[in-house]
Amino acid sequence: SEFEKDSLKSLEERLANLKATAKKETKALAQLEKARKAIQDELDTAEAEIAQLREDMAGVQEEFDEKTRALDEVKKVVARISKNLEKTMKEITLMNDEIEKSASERFSIYKKCKLEEIALPLLRGNLNKVPMEENLRDEMAMDVDEDEEATQQPKEVQDYGIEIDFESLDEDDRENGTPEMAAELDKEITKIQGEIEKMAPNMKALEKLDDVEAKLAATDKDADKARKQSKDAREDFNRVKKERCDRFNKAFAHISECIDKVYKDLTKGKHSPMGGVAYLSLEDSEEPYLSGIKYHAMPPMKRFRDMEQLSGGEKTVAALALLFAIHSYQPSPFFVLDEVDAALDNTNVAKVARYIQSQASTEFQFIVISLKCSLYEKSDSLVGVHRDQDVNSSRILTLD
């Protein structure tokens, strides 16, 4: 019948459509299987690369540990050398004091011989070159403001171009510098002076000698006073210098120890749980306060770069870490921050806010000026400033 023919035709058309659909889906399935194999190959390659990277990372970590141990050894060597250097410096200072004392005694002998007209056996020079009053104070005074480098060198003293001829002395007498030998020589000098006094003296010469000796005594007194003042000033200078260095090193050691932890707290996140790395280094370890301090900060997941090459936000985070580390040395009860988040994105603003929350307490309060809601919405209380158009003035709103 006509109905059966139409039904058969409809079924045939439906069957043809189903066959076409099945053919199309089979082709699509083949393409998907091909894509799946390609993705699987890429996945296998990535896993192999990850395994290689892990192996490389283990090697780098081992090398890092080795370098760290070598650095520790170098630090120990530097500390030992510094200790030996300090000991040598003290010995040089003591030697310089002895040189100064010997030079003063030699000058007194030269001066006495000149005044008493005692002829010394000289290889070169003349006693007339020995100063009396005018140059004595300049000769023996010490400059407490001289360069530190000069104090590390053996002290040079004035010999006035005089060289004594010791050939008339026996070898034993030359090497004998004991007090007994000096007493024997003084006794012989006293004996000779007694014989001279028995001769007819020149009264004018004696009067002149008395005047010269009086001036000499006054000059010696002034010179001793000046030497004592100079020595006291030098001791005070060294004491202040040592205290200055000790205080600086104490503060630097604390800040240097804290800054890495603070920087890690400010930079760690979901993708970098360990945070960045920051440290300080001295340009001059001997007198650190005379030179600069280098600040190095390496943001997480980035290679090392100079501080000038960091972005504005990275510089801000590094500056905050240094600021918080310095504040931790001698903390004050209040800490004021004025729009420090201006150059930060929302992620870093949230990290700074989290750090401030972790550090705030009843003994340590933060006063933060900010225009970013992601920061001030975490505060314990808010103070807002707005403009009142009616009175053309500023108004204050508070919210606890």
Q: What is the 3-state secondary structure (H, E, C) of 97-121?
A: HHHHHHHHHHHHHHHHHHHCCCCCC
Rg (CA), the chain: 44
CB 358 within 8 Å of CB 266? no
Q: What is the pLDDT of residue 128?
A: 74
Which DSSP state fits 309?
G
Give the three-state DSSP class for 326. Answer: helix
Quote the pLDDT of residue 168. 67
Please give the pLDDT value at position 340: 86
| DSSP per position, 264-317 | HHHH--SS-TT--EEEEEES-SSSGGGS-EEEEEE-TTS----GGGS-HHHHHH
Residue 131: φ, ψ to 5°: -70, 160
pTM: 0.43
**H or E segment and range at residue 282:** strand 277-282
**In terms of DSSP bridges, do strands 334-338 and 122-124 run parallel, antiparallel, or are they unpaired?**
unpaired
pLDDT in tens, the chain (400 residues): 677 788 888 888 888 888 888 888 888 898 898 988 989 888 988 888 998 998 889 888 888 889 989 899 999 998 899 888 888 888 888 887 888 887 787 778 777 777 777 777 777 777 777 776 545 444 444 444 444 444 456 667 677 777 777 676 666 655 556 667 767 777 887 787 677 666 655 656 667 777 888 888 899 899 999 999 999 999 999 999 889 888 989 999 999 999 999 999 888 888 778 888 998 888 888 788 888 888 888 888 888 777 788 888 888 999 999 999 998 888 888 889 888 888 888 888 888 888 888 888 878 888 888 888 888 888 888 888 888 888 888 888 888 7
User: Which pLDDT tens digit goes with each residue over 117-126?
Assistant: 777 777 777 7
Sort strands 365-369 and 122-124 into parallel, antiparallel or unpaired: unpaired
In this structure, what token pair is assigned to residue 121? 């056996």
Give me 350's structure tokens.
């949230």
DSSP 360: -
Q: Rounded CA gap, 68 and 73, in Å?
A: 9
Q: Please, what sign has the CA dihedral across residues 261, 265, 266, 272?
A: positive
pLDDT at 177: 60
* Sequence-distant (≥ 6) Cβ neighbours of residue 279 within 8 angstroms: 256, 259, 260, 296
